[in-house]
Amino acid sequence: MDSNFIERVQNITLIEEEGEVIKVGVMHRDKILEEFSLSLLGHFLTTCSYNQSATKSLIRSIWKMGSNPRIVDVGDGLFQFKFTLESKLKWVLNIGLWSFENHSLVLRRWERGMMARMVTFNSIPLWVQVGLPFDLISEEASKDISGGLGNVVEIDNKVFSFE
């Protein structure tokens, strides 16, 4: 579609005389919100085309959760991963960097009020290994280096225990 057309449609507003109030039922909204609260939104960092069906199958195989999570294509390369258990969602989110067929998958937790076209991914966790001379392997050096990297989640200090 023409991007100018999309922009014009997105900017359409109704004046009071033109508008008709449409009441949206919210009878089952609590159940829907509960279901969405166990969701992650994800996007593959690629401009290449890929087989979505095969990728979904590969994700399920690697995550070893059977048909959980339910994976929904919500458009524009955005996927919703719907889990049945908080523990499974947290495992996927916390276990690490996910890459499928050399395409990194960025994830973020669903938040109330999110709309597919407004979802952004501002960061991606990375594992960084730094090679240092033996005389610089210390907790002090690791803190100095991590200070220059940004938001550091964890430092593996096992190398500092030479016992």
How far is Cα 91 from Cα 162, in angstroms, rounded to an integer? 31
Superfamily per CATH, domain 26-118: RRM (RNA recognition motif) domain (3.30.70.330)
Instruction: Report the C-alpha dihedral over residues 149, 150, 156, 161, rounded to 10 degrees.
Output: 70
Tens digits of residue pLDDT in 120-151: 887 777 777 888 888 888 888 888 888 888 78
pLDDT single digits (tens) 28-74: 777 777 778 889 999 988 888 888 888 888 888 888 887 778 898 88
What is this structure's pTM? 0.66
Rounded Cα distance between 157 and 138, Å, is 9
Q: What is the mean pLDDT of residues 85-114?
A: 86
Q: Around Cβ 148, how many Cβ atoms within 10 Å?
A: 7
Delimit the domains of the chain by residue range.
26-118, 128-163
Q: What is the DSSP string of 61-77?
A: HHHT-TTPSEEEEEETT
